[in-house]
């Protein structure tokens, strides 16, 4: 079946960019950079809402712990409440190099916000890549960039990709998920034929989807950089794309009419938001994460099912924060990998020594598959008895059955509760004793 591409919003954007699908709201957010607009589209109702931003907004992420966004604005990085337009600046003076402005922004799976800049003259490689950590510290990660675009992280959190539209290349880095460091920059894809990579996303199979500015198409790249598939667009300047919809199988594409003559050929749809229903092959997007400003949680919940491992930072007075989601179930995840995942998730949270870790796994507990990680935890944690038999607290964490990305629900224990959690007191790696032989 051929690709079905249609216009869903006649937004008339000068420079539509940075589509972000919000799983919580089932809504699409994106910006018009040149007109300083933040926009939201709810497919279920057809509602479109627009907020005027106080400055040009080139990249953003929704916040996990509070209303609003974190944004890469024209003059700096800050939190913004769209309803009031007020900006709480994180970094501003002296952040950007002379002659550069922000051009891209996206959040990684650890809740860190990444922002890239561009040379205003569009001729020099004087721009940089920045990382804003969950403690709000700002680090310049890479230099020598012309126009920063397309940020993506591999599904196993081992690689990071960045496109430089000025030199028409996509670069790959080794990525350390626990620290956010990137190393060993190399050319992943060189569009030597003059095509210009802009923004994009990654799908659930690990393929990269990139909008090709000025080339009327979206390309899908395989892990070796080869072109796996192309989708023709009715606009010459697609700018970025993002999977959305209840099943994450609809590809939303932003576009621009910047620099185009009103009489230009098929430019009538330029500046609109388009969508393509990706039927063939069951393509599905990887979930978009929210920016997290982490404080010490009340406890860590590990929801370990037969096919997925999710780690949550649990707070008694606020919503849980998803720290990690791995497609590795009890039958595939060894005890060493279990501890590595837990350490990676906890590395970005301050002051975790002595925090309680609750592990839930209904099927695994009944079948005895938790024995290996339980024994492994004995070497890194001070174990305590299961909560149900030890203290019967008023609340505990239980895994939610069924598909989806919903956090563990809080329930009261009772005779019908099926899960059999065990717990431990987490000890950071630097404070652990040597493992017994």
Judge whether 196 and 212 are in contact, CB under 8 Å: yes
Nearest to 139 by CA among 128, 148, 147: 128
Residue 252 burial class via C-beta count within 10 angstroms: exposed 0-12, middle 13-18, buried 19 and up: buried
Strand 396-398, strand 409-411: pairing = antiparallel
Joined together, the tokens standing for residue 226 give: 């080869």
Strand 356-360, strand 299-304: pairing = parallel
CA 409, CA 431: separation in Å to the nearest integer?
31
CA 152, CA 334: separation in Å to the nearest integer?
27
Map residue 404 onto helix, strand or coil.
coil
CA 221, CA 94: separation in Å to the nearest integer?
37
DSSP 42-80: ETTTTEEEEEE-SS-EEEEEEBSSSSSEEEEETTEEEEE
- Angle at the Cα of 181 (from 177 to 183), degrees rounded to 5? 115
Map residue 56 onto helix, strand or coil.
coil
Map residue 268 onto helix, strand or coil.
helix
Please give the helix or strand (H or E) that residue 116 lies within, else none.
Answer: strand 113-119
Please give the helix or strand (H or E) that residue 389 lies within, else none.
Answer: helix 387-390
Annotated catalytic, 119? no
Active-site residue (options: 32, 119, 164, 198): 198
Joined together, the tokens standing for residue 20 give: 């972000």
Helix 371-378 and helix 335-346, axial crossing angle in degrees, nearest 10: 60
- Angle at the Cα of 170 (from 168 to 175), degrees rounded to 5? 155
- 259: phi then psi, degrees, rounded to nearest 5: 80, -5
- Angle at the Cα of 245 (from 323 to 315), degrees rounded to 5? 25
Catalytic residues: 198
């Amino acid at each position: 079946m051929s690709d079905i591409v249609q216009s869903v919003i006649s937004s008339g954007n000068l420079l539509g960019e940075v589509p972000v699908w919000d799983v919580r709201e089932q809504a699409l957010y994106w910006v018009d950079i040149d007109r300083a607009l933040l926009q939201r589209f709810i497919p279920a109702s057809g509602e479109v809402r627009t907020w005027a931003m106080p400055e040009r907004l080139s990249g953003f992420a929704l916040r996990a712990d509070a209303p609003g966004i974190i944004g890469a604005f024209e003059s700096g990085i800050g939190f913004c409440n769209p309803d009031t337009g007020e900006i709480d600046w994180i970094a501003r003076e002296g952040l950007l190099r002379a002659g550069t402005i922000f051009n891209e922004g996206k959040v990684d799976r650890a809740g860190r916000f990444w922002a890239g800049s561009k040379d205003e003259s569009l001729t020099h490689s004087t721009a940089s890549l920045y990382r804003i950590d969950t403690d709000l510290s700002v680090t310049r990660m890479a230099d020598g960039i012309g126009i920063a675009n397309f940020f993506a992280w591999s599904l196993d959190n081992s690689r990071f990709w960045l496109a430089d539209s000025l030199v028409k290349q996509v670069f790959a880095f080794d990525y350390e998920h626990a620290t956010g460091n990137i190393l060993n920059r190399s050319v992943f894809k060189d569009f030597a034929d003059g095509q210009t990579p802009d923004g994009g996303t990654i799908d659930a199979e690990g393929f990269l989807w990139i909008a090709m500015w000025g080339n009327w198409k979206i390309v899908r790249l395989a892990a070796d950089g080869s072109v796996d598939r192309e989708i023709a667009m009715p606009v010459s300047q697609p700018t970025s794309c993002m999977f959305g919809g209840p099943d994450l199988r609809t590809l939303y594409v932003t576009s621009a009419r910047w620099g185009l003559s009103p009489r230009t050929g098929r430019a009538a749809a330029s500046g609109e938001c388009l969508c393509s229903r990706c039927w063939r092959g069951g393509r599905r997007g990887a979930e978009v994460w929210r920016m997290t400003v982490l404080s010490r949680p009340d406890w860590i919940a590990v929801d370990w099912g037969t096919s997925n491992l999710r780690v949550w930072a649990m707070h008694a007075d606020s919503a849980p924060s998803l720290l990690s989601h791995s497609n590795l179930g009890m039958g595939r995840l060894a005890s060493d990998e279990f501890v590595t995942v837990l350490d990676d998730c906890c590395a970005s949270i301050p002051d975790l020594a002595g925090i309680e870790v609750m592990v839930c796994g209904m099927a695994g507990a009944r079948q005895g598959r938790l024995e290996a990680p339980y024994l492994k935890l004995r070497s890194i944690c001070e174990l305590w008895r299961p909560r149900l038999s030890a203290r019967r607290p008023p609340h505990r964490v239980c895994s939610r059955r069924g598909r989806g990305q919903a956090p563990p629900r809080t329930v009261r224990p009772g005779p019908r509760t099926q899960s059999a959690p065990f717990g431990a007191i987490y000890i950071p790696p630097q404070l652990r004793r040597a493992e017994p032989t």
